[in-house]
């Protein structure tokens, strides 16, 4: 067997003139999913630069969701206050980065208790102003009612919407993103429910309308770009369904939790069917 000596190629040590590798792929190649049509939401900037959290175990385990609760209180409050700003049109990339579940759970649970406490306090104040001798019994059924309504709207609706969009082939956001958007969007109802203790019906209507407009605008500005990324144009009509359901939620809050007043109402009120009942001292607008 013979060996042939090969001299080393000195050009490999010449620095910039040596062997080099160059990629001919564009910068946006990593952001384009195979089989996707058009430009994704990552390219549009809606979901840009979101860190991908990795969870241990399956989705049925506690460890899977543990990473979404690793957020401090200061960050949660900042995200809550940001929903009140009309400039929060790109909430995914500017504030919800990365998404969490602690804030939405805290917001929804706090809203349940503020709805019950504020409505109970308003009812007791109204009963006392109507008749000092009248006793008021707290209706704990309102607590169960508030829990069912808030959790169904704040958790059930975004999960159903996410499943529907996944079925339609829109995978630009995750279930955690959907729940986080809805949870933080309902933050405005917490101070509104406290202010609605004031027994002035017209003032309560104004507060409910402002909360509906603020949270509805927040949802539309952050959910509609996701719907618009679908290939089927009819998917965009889901925003109308979301707006109708959101208006229904506002009306339910006003009727069930912000409808107490004394016999001699302070200021004018908006008439609702079945709202005139001269027999009772404390009334609810049904």
Calculated CA dihedral for residues 272, 274, 279, 283, nearest 10 degrees: -50
- Whether residue 57 contacts residue 65, with contact meaning beta carbons closer than 8 Å, is answered with no
pLDDT digits (tens, 9 = 90+) for 162-190: 998 888 877 778 888 899 999 999 999 99
Which residues, including other chains, have CB under 8 Å from residue 244's CB and lie 6 or more apart?
none
Pick from 99-108, 146-155, 237-246, 260-269: least confident: 260-269
What is the domain partition of the chain in residue ranges? Answer: 68-84+93-256
pLDDT digits (tens, 9 = 90+) for 151-167: 999 999 999 999 988 88
Count the Cβ atoms, other than its own, within 10 Å of residue 106.
Answer: 18
Taking the C-alpha atoms of residue 269 and residue 43, their distance in angstroms, rounded to an integer, is: 49
Which residues, including other chains, have CB under 8 Å from residue 282's CB and lie 6 or more apart?
123, 126, 127, 130, 134, 136, 260, 261, 262
Q: 3-class SS at 72?
A: coil
pLDDT score at 190: 95
Q: With CA atoms as reference, report the closest residue to 174 among 194, 188, 158.
A: 158
């Amino acid at each position: 067997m013979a060996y042939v000596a090969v001299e080393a190629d000195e050009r490999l040590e010449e620095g910039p003139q040596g062997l080099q590798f160059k990629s001919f792929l564009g910068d946006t190649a990593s952001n384009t999913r195979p089989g996707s049509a058009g430009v994704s939401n990552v390219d549009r900037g809606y979901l840009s630069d979101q860190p991908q959290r990795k969870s241990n175990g399956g989705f049925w385990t506690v460890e899977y969701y543990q990473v979404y609760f690793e957020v401090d209180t200061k960050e949660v409050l900042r995200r809550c206050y940001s929903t009140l700003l009309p400039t929060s049109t790109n909430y995914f990339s500017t504030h919800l980065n990365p998404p969490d579940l602690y804030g939405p759970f805290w917001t929804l649970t706090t809203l349940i208790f503020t709805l019950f406490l504020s409505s109970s306090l308003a009812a007791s104040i109204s009963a006392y102003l109507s008749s000092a001798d009248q006793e008021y019994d707290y209706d704990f059924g309102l607590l169960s009612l508030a829990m069912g309504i808030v959790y169904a709207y704040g958790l059930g609706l975004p999960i159903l919407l996410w499943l529907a969009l996944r079925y339609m082939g829109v995978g630009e956001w995750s279930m955690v993103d959907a729940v986080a958007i809805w949870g933080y969007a309902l933050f405005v109802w917490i101070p509104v429910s406290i202010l609605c203790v004031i027994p002035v019906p017209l003032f309560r209507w104004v507060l409910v309308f402002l909360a509906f407009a603020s949270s509805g605008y927040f949802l539309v500005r952050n959910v509609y770009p996701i719907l618009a990324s679908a290939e089927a144009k009819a998917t965009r009509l889901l925003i109308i369904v979301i707006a109708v359901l959101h208006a229904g939620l506002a009306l339910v809050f006003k009727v069930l939790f912000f409808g107490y007043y004394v016999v001699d109402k302070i200021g004018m009120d908006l008439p609702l069917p079945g709202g005139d009942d001269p027999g009772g001292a404390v009334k609810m607008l049904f």
